Structure 1
Amino acid sequence: MINLTKRVPYEELNDKQKEIYNYQKVSAVLADYGICTIRLSDDWNGADFIAVDLTGKSINVQLKGRVHFAEKYLNKDLYICFPLNNEWYLYPHDLVFENYNNRNGLTSQPNWEKNRNWHTARPSRDLLDLLRPYLLSDYHGIKSAA
């Protein structure tokens, strides 16, 4: 029998276990919006899972532990999902990246030039303002390319 008497602290999980944990948590949140999720065993076009709403529209989602932009995710119609302060964000990667880059010159920063990606666990006020419409508690529906 599995042990249901002791909760395991998130910090004690390895990276793969954290990814599975986060997937389960955000799937429960998305279910409140009538969205079911389909986990992918291997990143498919950059996606960790597919989110499907009640009308059958779907989006590809990359699950992260923090806000994240990457060159490899550009032009893939991909959404990024991440937790922050016990809340979840689900944002269209290219749109938020473009807006943030236009405001802050992200692609000219040394980390981007070296690694072709950028992420932070502590988003600036400016970035949080850009992400605000994508906070799941305030979400008004997923826009799909389909």
Structure 2
Amino acid sequence: MSRYRSQVREVINRNTVVSLALDQGFNAFLPVYDGGVDFILYRESDGLVRKVQLKGRWTIDRKYLDRDIWVAFPIAGDWYVMPHDVMVALAEADGVTKTASWMDGGAYSKPRPSKATIAACAPYRCTSIEAVVAEAADEAEST
């Protein structure tokens, strides 16, 4: 099982984010080809579409620039779904885009974001998965 650990973790994370999105009225679609989009969220009630790239931590990458991609990532047990280009703007303000990782490698991630970064991400924080699961269980019991 350990050789598949990262794949299993990715499926669990994707299902968590999809469950959180379903609670917000979205439906999820998996692209046939992964060209930088892991799944697509669509809410029929208002036509909102989010092309989502799933990450294990706060991450920016040049290949996602100007593509209207949203990044889903956890911080301390909470999940965030945030526009990549907004994340890059925050990174520019923090000086991250002046690092060798960004300038030479074209990517940057924060395994433990600062309090300032977490505060800037707050508007994109999802409801806790525990609250969504508890609500679903309560609804199931009442039917």
Amino acid at match of 1:107: T
Within the candidate set 18, 31, 43, 1:40 is matched to 31
- Residues 1:107 and 1:100: Cα distance change in structure 2 (over 3 Å): closer
**What's the counterpart of residue 109 of structure 1?**
99
Q: Matches of 1:23 and 1:90 in 2, distance apart?
A: 12
Task: Judge conservation of contact 1:68–1:120 (CA < 8 Å) in 2.
Answer: yes
Say if 1:13 and 1:122 are closer, same or farther in 2 by CA, change over 3 A.
Answer: farther
Total equivalences in the alignment: 127
Structure with the higher helix share, 1 or 2: 2
Q: 1:65 aligns with which of 31, 53, 56?
A: 56
Is 1:122 the counterpart of 2:112? The answer is yes
1:1-146 matched pairs, under 5 angstroms: 14-44=5-35, 46-55=36-45, 56-101=47-92, 103-137=93-127
Distance across 1 between alignment mates of 2:34 and 2:19: 21
Contact 2:79–2:126 at 8 Å: present in 1 too? yes
Please name the residue that 2:135 is paired with: none
* d(CA) in 1 for partners of 2:33, 2:76: 28
Amino acid at match of 1:24: N
Give the gaps of 5 or more residues in structure 1. Answer: 1-7, 139-146
% identical aligned pairs: 28
Letter in 1 for 2:89: E
Question: What runs of 5+ residues in structure 2 fail to find an aligned partner?
Answer: 129-143
- TM-score, normalised via structure 2 length: 0.80
